[in-house]
Structure 1
């Protein structure tokens, strides 16, 4: 079923890092993996600073390997981690890697390494978007917004040259779940707003996917609801 929707983008900003990505427990685990056993005795700010120093004391590929093993040891084998650890010093692996489900983890690792090495690693940016999505026909409105429905609602605000539109044109229009959207949108909250059939949306994605999304404005369009639940 295809229904009308109105998407209002209220703000869009770029982020060098995604807030809350690395917690003190993460820094302490990374310190330990880098060979520092006394991280528990440090304050939270000291732990973060020591982690950056510990990574910078390593060869860049070795530091990258430490982070990738910490974040992705269950998804990547030793050979893959070794290859990526070398490639990411020059290439935007967080955009280029074929498995988009790993892009968020690769972005987080890259940006932490970039901080540790004062810009040696390629720069990446995330995008934080605040928006509302409303449905004029409340009786046909979905009970919740999945990542797939949010991307369909955002489609009118994307350039026709958008990578999302070029790679996922069929998914945007199909009456089936848009499963890749869960990996394109790295963070998503969509909560019912005060107005009927309206959702307040906050999302984080990669600048790679949403750099050509409009910064603000109202966009009317139609979205196709999946025949099965997303």
Structure 2
């Protein structure tokens, strides 16, 4: 199907609002030995957590949050190694398991705020765009669909295009797309907000803001 794509703007942000729920804050407060989170004012929970976190050494705090977010995915040795590396590098941009990078970003930024900059400051991009079908009905699109459609507007220097050139340009499966796209929001299946790492898509990556693109049916591998 042919689509008319319009990239409206890209916002660069230090955090994605709404990622951490009140329940997350309460549970994390318990893990940081602040048991009264459940009875605290909801609006005060983020600040209380920042204060509770800052009572710990940065690497200890990182381990606690990582164990909370990845209870079954990481062993103790991996948690310790990632916590150590987070103080030095933007692990959320470099971790080889792409589907974990989004969560690692949110963990990193929580710690960045609590420690006032002791952790590297990673950034996310929110891409605002529209996808209008030229010759058919609107339909629900996946992260994979959307990245393939945006391909025509991205510079050849873009990291996604460099690492996944075939998946972006051909009608073959692109399972990594679900990890690259952290959130994909739409209310009308035309206007979209896509949340990802600045490392994956940033303002400098856009070479065209209005263009046409064809979405082909994916040929499943035998």
Q: TM-score w.r.t. structure 1 length?
A: 0.89
Q: Partner residue of 1:203?
A: 194
For the 8 Å contact 2:151–2:169, the answer to whether it is kept is: no
Q: Partner residue of 2:57?
A: 59
CA distance in 2, matches of 1:52, 1:103: 22
Q: Partner residue of 2:181?
A: 185
- Structure 1: runs of 5 or more not aligned: 194-198
Q: CA deviation at 1:191?
A: 4.8
For the 8 Å contact 1:189–1:202, the answer to whether it is kept is: yes
Q: How many corresponding residue pairs? A: 219
**Deviation by residue 1:109-159 (Cα, 9 ceiling, x = unmatched):** 000000000011001111111111123222xx6732111110011111111
Q: 1:191 to 1:36 in 2, by over 3 A?
A: closer
Q: Partner residue of 1:146?
A: 142
Structure 2 SS opposite 1:210: coil
- Structure 2: runs of 5 or more not aligned: none
- CA RMSD in angstroms, aligned pairs only: 1.8
Q: 1:205 to 1:215 in 2, by over 3 A?
A: farther
Q: TM-score w.r.t. structure 2 length?
A: 0.92
Residue 223 in 1 paired to residue 205 in 2? no
Q: CA deviation at 1:214?
A: 2.4
Residues 45-124 of structure 1: matches in 2 within 5 Å? 45-124=43-122
CA distance in 1, matches of 2:11, 2:195: 10
Residue 26 in 1 paired to residue 17 in 2? no
Structure 1 SS opposite 2:182: strand
Structure 1 SS opposite 2:129: strand
